[in-house]
């Protein structure tokens, strides 16, 4: 038995298939591995219709981490499973239910779990103002449950901010020519590159990724948000000022986000207090076989749309 080889899944279940990682993952697998049978999970009926239109050969279904019977039906016969959770989700029951369903079915040869945490972070240092439902609290719980399950799991960890958050962050730029966001320094990554990483891991026969915890960023950008505002100014051809103050953030985003604005401020200040733990790396580049998308490259690609953007992102709702 060759311990360095694993089976390539003949079927893959994608949770969050309508999202900004799940949908590009489905596109990648449809294009690069059309023989793999895809099952796409979305709870919203409108999103289900959209997936059925875009992926006519896939099975589209509803499944809920809190509904064990729906998970049992969803994972039946699935050899590959991409697991991602929604913002604010409590992982204890969710991952307990999922691992129970997967072990009961017994078909999984590769589970990929998306996370977003500081690697090896001491959980006792997570401030009380974050609490249950926050990534620093919930994602270590998810990892512990999956580790203890004995399932063949690869963790892909976002050690970065998603570049496409700019769709949301452009709102005050349009209204006031001002980028309003809590200041902190962070690496960046394009969710489409995350999706391709997951896809390439699924279609690889390299078993060395089983059990691995891979932290991802684009290997290039470790930026403050004032620096991001500067790049926007250069590429959009107009002066954009920066406001990283609590007062500015709450004045603009408070009416738009409600109570979530305070929680986001606390989270980003937690990230700022621990930002020296981040380190740029070449993992994504090695898996993709190309340079990952940079912040500047993403802005150039989406310049026309950014100038007229009126987008939301799911975690800010």
* pLDDT score of 66 more than 60: yes
Specify the pLDDT at position 140.
95
Specify the pLDDT at position 87.
85
As a whole number of Å, the CA-based R_g of the chain is: 20
pLDDT in tens, 126-150: 999 998 989 999 999 999 999 999 9
Specify the pLDDT at position 316.
52
- CA torsion angle 148 150 153 157 (round to 10): 10
Specify the pLDDT at position 123.
87
Burial class (CB within 10 angstroms; exposed 0-12, middle 13-18, buried 19+) of 84: buried
DSSP string of 41-107, one letter each residue? E-SSHHHHHHHHHH-TTSEEE---TT-HHHHHHHHTT-SEEEE---TT--HHHHHHHHHHHHHHH--
pLDDT in tens, 23-49: 999 999 999 999 999 999 999 999 999
What is the band of 214 on the pLDDT scale with cuts at 50, 70, 90? Answer: very high
Q: Which domains does the chain have, with CATH numbers?
A: 11-162+188-219+277-292 (3.40.50.720)
* pLDDT score of 95 more than 80: yes
Distance CA 243, CA 225 (A): 9
* Mean pLDDT within 57-76: 97
Specify the pLDDT at position 309.
64
pTM, to two decimals: 0.95
pLDDT in tens, 159-204: 999 999 999 999 999 999 999 999 999 999 999 999 999 999 999 9
* Mean pLDDT within 239-256: 98
- Is the dihedral angle over the CA atoms 174, 179, 182, 188 positive or is it negative? positive
Contacts of 279 (CB under 8 A, 6+ apart): 159
pLDDT in tens, 256-302: 999 999 999 999 999 999 999 999 999 999 999 999 999 999 999 99
> Which pair of structure tokens corresponds to residue 238?
């107009």
Specify the pLDDT at position 120.
87
Percent of the chain scoring above 90 in pLDDT: 92
Specify the pLDDT at position 315.
46
End-to-end CA, the chain:
49
Element (H, E) at 140: helix 135-149
* pLDDT score of 317 more than 80: no
Specify the pLDDT at position 197.
99
Specify the pLDDT at position 313.
54
């Amino acid at each position: 038995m060759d311990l360095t080889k694993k089976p390539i899944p003949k079927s893959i279940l994608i949770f969050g298939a309508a999202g900004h990682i799940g949908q590009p993952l489905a596109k990648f697998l449809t294009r690069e591995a059309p023989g793999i049978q895809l099952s796409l999970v979305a709870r919203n009926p409108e999103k289900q219709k959209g997936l059925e239109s875009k992926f006519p050969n896939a099975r589209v279904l509803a499944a809920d981490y809190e509904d064990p019977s729906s998970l049992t039906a969803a994972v039946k016969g699935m050899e590959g499973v991409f697991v991602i959770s929604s913002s604010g989700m409590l992982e204890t029951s969710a991952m307990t239910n999922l691992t129970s369903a997967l072990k009961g079915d017994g078909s999984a040869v590769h589970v990929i779990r998306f996370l977003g945490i500081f690697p090896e972070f001491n959980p006792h240092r997570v401030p009380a103002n974050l609490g249950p439902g926050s990534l620093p609290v919930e994602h270590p719980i998810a990892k512990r449950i999956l580790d203890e399950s004995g399932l063949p799991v690869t963790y892909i960890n976002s050690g970065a901010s998603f570049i496409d958050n700019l769709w949301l962050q452009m709102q005050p730029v349009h209204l006031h020519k001002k980028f309003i966001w809590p200041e902190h320094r962070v690496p960046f990554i394009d969710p489409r590159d995350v999706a391709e990483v997951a896809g390439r891991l699924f279609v690889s026969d390299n078993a060395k990724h089983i059990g691995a915890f891979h932290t991802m960023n684009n290997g290039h950008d470790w930026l403050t948000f004032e620096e991001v505002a500067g790049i926007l100014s250069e590429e959009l051809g107009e002066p954009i000022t920066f406001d990283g103050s609590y007062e500015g953030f709450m004045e603009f985003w408070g009416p738009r986000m409600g109570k979530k604005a305070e929680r986001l401020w606390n989270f980003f200040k937690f990230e700022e207090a621990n930002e020296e733990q981040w380190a740029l790396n070449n993992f994504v580049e090695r898996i993709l076989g190309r340079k990952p998308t940079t912040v500047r490259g993403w802005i150039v690609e989406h310049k026309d749309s950014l100038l007229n953007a009126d987008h939301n992102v799911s975690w800010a709702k």
